[in-house]
Structure 1
Amino acid sequence: KLDKTEEMHIQALQGFEEALRPKHTLTLTTVNNLAVLYADQGKLGEAERMYMRALQGYKEALGPNHTLTLNTVNNLGLLYANQGKRSEAEKMYMWALQGRKEVLGLKHTLTLNIINNL
Structure 2
Amino acid sequence: MERQVLMITKSEDMVKLRALAELCSWDFFDDKSLLVVAWRRILEVLVLAMPPVEEKKVRRKKKKQQKKNYDPRKLDILDACVALGRACGFVGDFDDARRYYKRAKEGFEEQLGRDNEKALDATKGLIMITGTTSESSEKLRDLVKRMERVLGDENVVTLETLNDFGFGLQESGEYEEAIKCYERCLAGRTKVLKEDHKDALGALNNLGTIYGKLENYEKAFEYYEKALKGNEKTLGRNHPETLGTVMNVAII
1:61-110 Cα deviation digits (max 9, x unpaired) = 11111011000100000000111111100010010000000110000000
Extract unaligned runs of 5+ from structure 2.
1-132
Measure, in 1, the Cα distance between the counterparts of 2:244 and 2:134: 31
Q: C-alpha separation between the residues in 2 aligned to 1:114 and 1:100? A: 8
What secondary structure, in the 3-state scheme, does the structure 2 residue paired with 1:90 have?
A: helix
C-alpha RMSD over aligned residues: 1.3
Give the partner amino acid of 2:164.
Answer: N
Which consecutive aligned stretches of 4+ in structure 1 deviate over 3 angstroms post-superposition?
none
The answer to whether 1:53 aligns with 2:157 is: no
Q: CA deviation at 1:14?
A: 2.0
Structure 2 distance, partners of 1:9, 1:93, is 27
TM-score (norm 2): 0.45
Instruction: Percent identity, please.
Output: 28
**Quick one: which of 212, 222, 230 aligns to 1:81?**
212
The equivalent residue for 2:225 is 94
Distance 1:12 1:108 in 2: 33
Structure number with higher relative contact order (C-alpha < 8 Å, ≥ 6 residues apart): 1
> 2:244 pairs with 104, 109, 113, which one?
113
Structure with bigger gyration radius: 2
2:73 maps to which residue? none
| C-alpha contact 2:134 2:168 (8 A) present in aligned 1 | no
Give the Cα–Cα distance (whole angstroms) in 2 for the partners of residues 98 and 6 of structure 1: 32
Aligned partners of 1:91 and 1:76: how far apart in 2?
A: 10
1:14 to 145, 149, 161: 145
Q: How many residues align?
A: 117
The one-letter code matched in structure 1 to 2:191 is E
After TM superposition, the score normalised by the length of structure 1 is: 0.94
Q: Is the 8 A contact 2:224 2:248 kept in 1?
A: yes
